[in-house]
Amino acid sequence: MGESRVLSRAEALQLEPGWRHACHVLLCAPCPGRLRGRVPLRHAVLMQMRFDGLLGFPGGFVEPRDGSLEAGLSRELREELGPGAAALSLAEGDYLGARCAETPRRLVAHFYAKRLSLEQLRALENGAPRAEEHGLEVLGLVRVPLHTLRDGVRGLPTFLSNRFAGCAREQLLEALRVLRLVPEAELRRADAASRKRL
Ligand SMILES: O=c1[nH]cnc2c1ncn2[C@H]1C[C@H](O)[C@@H](COP(=O)(O)OP(=O)(O)O)O1
């Protein structure tokens, strides 16, 4: 995805038919653990390693037969995370925002977030290896490290210096800020530190 711009759901749905729509979701749960007994993990946030070596969120293209954005997203989640994803019941209320880009082709990326319990999130992680797309388009789920270690580099900054699909990096930063999963100043520092390594 080239340079993307933010637009509202209503604006996105009014775009001409030449635009394709994709929906992805950030799934997260409170995570009380401490790394090495010291560093608070705060939350478990799921992303996935894709077939193309890029990191992205679960989800994908919405097809005309899906009938709605949320139905398309739910179908993609069942394919990528397995039947356990059916229980997620994503709705318009879980919508976080949209971004669109003209290149490499006209794409609107709709983004959702869903807060789960740690047990629900673990059940999804455990069920994912049995999903239809496991080992094909999805090579595995990963948890995003939300902490930054004392060197100011390892943890979230290093994770952010990976390569991401479409606007997934922007979506991740925006969601971590809006959902208050990482304090804003820490997030800014992690973003800045990661850009030095890109
Ligand atoms: O996590 C993502 N956030 C934003 N855009 C993404 C993300 N992952 C992929 N993409 C882009 C890349 C593609 O142009 C479309 C659809 O991708 P994908 O998820 O691979 O779709 P299918 O599973 O093939 O339906 O969005």
- Ligand 1 atom showing the smallest separation from residue 61 Cα: 25
**Which residues lie closer than 8 Å to 167 by C-beta, 6 or more apart?**
1, 4, 99, 101, 109
What are the structural domain ranges in the chain?
A: 5-146
Q: What is the largest CA-CA distance in the chain?
A: 53
Domain covering 5-146, topology: Nucleoside Triphosphate Pyrophosphohydrolase (3.90.79)
pTM listed for this prediction: 0.96
Tokens 């990528």 belong to 80
Ligand 1 atom closest to Cα of 58? 1
With a 6 A CB cut-off, is 72 part of the ligand 1 pocket?
no
Assess whether the C-beta atom of 51 lies below 6 angstroms from ligand 1: no
Whether the upstream peptide bond of residue 104 has omega within 30° of 0, thus cis, is yes
Q: For 144, which DSSP code? A: P
8-state DSSP, 7: E
- Model confidence pLDDT, tens digit, residues 91-144: 999 999 999 999 889 999 999 999 999 999 999 999 999 999 999 999 999 999
- The region of weakest confidence among 100-104, 166-170, 186-190 is 100-104
Beta strand 107-115 pairing with 20-30: parallel
Predicted ipTM of the assembly: 0.97
Residue 165 CB less than 6 A away from ligand 1: yes
Q: Could you report the per-residue pLDDT of 58-98, keeping only the tens digit for each? A: 999 999 999 999 999 999 999 999 999 999 989 999 999 99
